[in-house]
Amino acid sequence: MNMIQKGNSIAQANNRLQTDWQTLNKQNSGVLGGSAKNGTWHLREGANAKVNQKSFFAVLDQAAKKTGTSQKSQAPQKQDSFTEYTVQSGDTLWGLAVKKFHVNLKDLISDNAIENPDVIQVGQKLKIRKTGPQPAGEVTASWYGQDFQGKPMANGLPYDMYANTIAHKDLPLGTRVELNNPRTGQTTTAVVTDRGPYIAGRDVDLSYGLARKLSLVQDGVDKLVMRVL
């Protein structure tokens, strides 16, 4: 339990602790006081309070931290870093996200509070998220080939089964990655150009050409180590 501070109100207690004054009074004898003059209730300064074993003042302080109003010093939280770009003639949000900056289109729209993604103005300033290298991680990889040759990929270009390209569900189109087969020691780089795979348990689909370079053609599915560059 913690001591009620001067200025803590019943409304504040109800809001932060998700309760009402009757419950607060019932679980904390002597916390609430009434005024004989005007009939209003108030919190007794110096009293201790809790609701469902949660410290009143601790919850107040936790809520304050979320809004940056806590009196205790807090370590600064890591913020996404951005760069600024000025929209040029012919630019589209899709082109900027996929071809120029290799960021997720939904992030670009959200970061700039854009209501209509089809309309951007020449001279408009856009915030672009900065991306950088990420730790390597194990992925389950498969490959796709002849049946998709020449068909449009998620980036709008025709699929080339011999190119160093991959399909991934989430990574921004245009992202460069390094792929390593720990079983053979083979390593190569690739670019995210398509979406998929959509088979449970698989993380990435390689082009036929990449599957050959990483000795994946025969087995069809194998574990690789992928690192975003």
User: Quick check: is 73 in a domain?
Assistant: no
User: Quick check: is 11 in a domain?
Assistant: yes
At which residue do the structure tokens 């990449």 appear?
A: 210
Q: What does the pLDDT read at residue 28? A: 65
Which amino acid is located at 74 in the chain? Answer: Q
Residues 60, 34 within the same domain: yes
The most confident of the ranges 48-62, 76-90, 104-118, 202-216 is 202-216
Which amino acid is located at 144 in the chain? Answer: Y
Q: What does the pLDDT read at residue 71? A: 42
35-84 pLDDT tens trace: 544 444 556 666 665 555 444 445 445 555 554 544 444 444 445 688 88
Last residue of one domain, picked from the residues 13, 37, 67 = 67
pLDDT of 90 over the 70 cut: yes
d(CA 131, CA 229): 9
Cα first-last separation, the chain: 50
Least confident span in 30-34, 108-112, 134-138: 30-34
CATH number of the domain residue 146 falls in? 2.40.40.10
User: Quick check: is 216 in a domain?
Assistant: yes
Mean pLDDT rounded to a whole number for the chain = 77
Which residues on neighbouring strands pair with residue 63, listed in sequence order?
Answer: none
Residues 114, 155 within the same domain: no
In our burial notation (b when 16+ CB lie closer than 10 A, e otherwise), range 67-102 reads eeeeeeeeeeeeeeeeeebebeeebebeebbbeebb
The whole domain housing 27 covers 2-67
Residues 143, 217 within the same domain: yes
Residues 171, 124 within the same domain: no
Residue 167's CB is within 10 A of a number of other CB atoms, namely 25
Is it true that the peptide bond before 197 is cis, omega within 30 degrees of 0?
yes
Decide which of 212 and 48 is more confident: 212
pLDDT of 162 over the 60 cut: yes
- Give the count of domains, the chain: 3
User: Quick check: is 74 in a domain?
Assistant: no
What H or E segment, with its residue span, contains residue 226?
Answer: strand 222-228
The most confident of the ranges 46-50, 65-69, 87-91, 127-131 is 87-91
Q: What does the pLDDT read at residue 93? A: 86
Residues 112, 154 within the same domain: no
